[in-house]
Amino acid sequence: MTWKLIAIVVVILIVVGVAAYILTQQTTANANVIIQDDTACGLNDASCLFNPASYNATVNGAAVFWRNDGGVNHTVGTNSTLNANGLDTFTSNSIAHGGTYSHTFTVKGTYHYYCTIHAWMKGIINVN
C-alpha cells in the first residue's frame, strides 16, 4: 500500500516536471525580442532595453514575440512620429515580468517602436 502511494507520487512528480520543462522551452523559443531592465529604470537608464534592438520579420509570417524578463512593467508601441504612413500601428498593454506580447506584421517596412512607460527604450523591426 505504501509503495503504491510512493509510486503514484513519483509518477505525478515526473509528469509535472516534464510539463513544466516543455512549457518553459516553448516560452523561450517563442520570444524573439527580450525586454531587459535593472528593476529600476530611472530616467534614461540605458540598462532598460529591447534585445536585440533590431529584428527582422516577414510580412504575414510568424508573429514577433516580445517577452519581459525585467523586473518592472514595460510596453511595446509603434512610434507614429518616425514610422511611415500605412504601416501597422499597435500599443501593447503593460507587460509584467514573464509576460509576452506578439504582433503579426501585415505591411512591409521599417517599424520603430518604444516603451511608452520608458520612452528612451527603443527598438526596430524590419519587415520584408
Contacting residues toward Cu ion, per CB under 5 A: 74, 115, 117-118, 121
The three cell numbers of residue 65 are 514575440
The least distance separating Cu ion from the CB of residue 117, rounded to whole angstroms, comes to 4
Nearer to Cu ion, 41 or 64 (CB): 41
Contacts for 121 with CB less than 8 Å, ≥ 6 apart = 35, 48, 49, 50, 74, 114, 115
- Which three cell numbers, joined as nine digits, stand for 68? 519581459
Inter-residue contact 34 to 73 (CB < 8 Å)? no
Looking at beta carbons only, is 42 or 86 nearer to Cu ion? Answer: 42
Partners of 42 in the β-ladder: none
User: CA 25, CA 119: separation in Å to the nearest integer?
Assistant: 31
**Smallest separation (angstroms) from Cu ion to the CB of 100:** 15
Nearer to Cu ion, 34 or 117 (CB): 117
What is the C-alpha separation between 55 and 69, in angstroms, rounded?
17
**Closest CB 74 distance from Cu ion, rounded Å:** 3
- The nearer residue to Cu ion, 14 or 40, going by C-beta atoms, is 40
Q: How far is the CB of 48 from Cu ion (least distance, A)?
A: 6
